[in-house]
Amino acid sequence: MLSPSLDSIRIFLHVLAAGVWVGGQIVLAGVVPGLRKVGPEATKAAANGFARVAWPAFVLAFATGVWNLISADDTVGTSYQVTLGIKILLVVVAGASAAAHASSEKKVVMAATGAIGLIASLVVMFMGAQLGTA
Ligand code: HEM
């Protein structure tokens, strides 16, 4: 059996945080229509519960992302740098959209920022897979 290493712990934490942040949004999108039928308190409770878990996961993804960067062997290639740059930009877009989504009461703003946040998060995850296999 392979022995655990600092590298495997680093990737485990990064993928765990990414999975909670991105997967949590997908699960929430799936359960919210059902919760709406129960009442606004149910939706609010689910959103608050998600926020309690998702924001620490976002911070962990960011911190372990920086750790990935420090540990990566070959980050100097132009295509690696461009992919990484777009990924970091989309991390900011995802975080800002999620924050705007959580603090707005307007339906149109909530729908737009929710969708942008999820799409940006999915692209960030895909680009992570690209960086990990580069
Ligand atoms: C919500 C935020 C983030 C998500 C969802 C995410 C997702 C991922 C995923 C799924 C991987 C693939 C891991 C693997 O199997 O190798 C990955 C790798 C990577 N991520 Fe992130 N990431 C996030 C934030 C960041 C940030 C902020 C940075 C840089 C500051 C970063 C830098 C990297 C690097 C360099 C790799 C490649 C690691 C390697 O060499 O194996 N990530 N990311």
Q: What is the pLDDT along the chain (134 residues), one digit of tens a residue?
A: 999 999 999 999 999 999 999 999 999 999 999 999 999 899 999 999 999 999 999 999 999 999 999 998 888 899 999 999 999 999 999 999 999 999 998 999 999 999 999 999 999 999 999 999 98
CA distance linking residue 61 with residue 130, whole number of Å: 16
Cα distance between residue 67 and residue 73, in whole Å: 12
103-122 burial, b for 16+ CB within 10 Å, e for fewer? eeeeeeeeeebbebbbebbe
Please report the atom of ligand 1 found closest to the CA of residue 121. 5
Q: Is residue 67 part of a domain?
A: yes
Residue of the nearest CA to atom 25 in ligand 1? 65
Q: Is residue 1 part of a domain?
A: no
Q: What amino acid is encoded at 109 in this protein?
A: V
**pLDDT digit string, tens, across residues 100-121:** 999 998 999 999 999 999 999 9
- Cα separations (Å) of 19 from 57, 100, 125? 9, 21, 9
For residue 129 and ligand 1, the question of a CB distance below 6 A is answered with: yes
- Flag whether the pTM goes above 0.95: no
In testing the pocket of ligand 1, which one of 58, 64, 67, 68 has its CB within 8 Å of the most ligand atoms? 68
Residue 127: what residue type? Answer: M
> What pLDDT, on the 0 to 100 scale, is given for residue 73?
85
What pLDDT is attached to residue 38? 95
Is residue 12 in a domain?
yes
CA of 128 to the centre of ligand 1 (A): 4
Q: Is residue 117 part of a domain?
A: yes
Residues spanned by the domain of 102: 6-132
Q: What is the pLDDT of residue 75?
A: 82
Residue 126 maps to a domain:
yes
Query: Which whole-number Å values give the CA distances from 35 to 47, 68, 71, 80, 85, in the listed order?
Result: 10, 38, 43, 42, 38
Domain count for the chain: 1
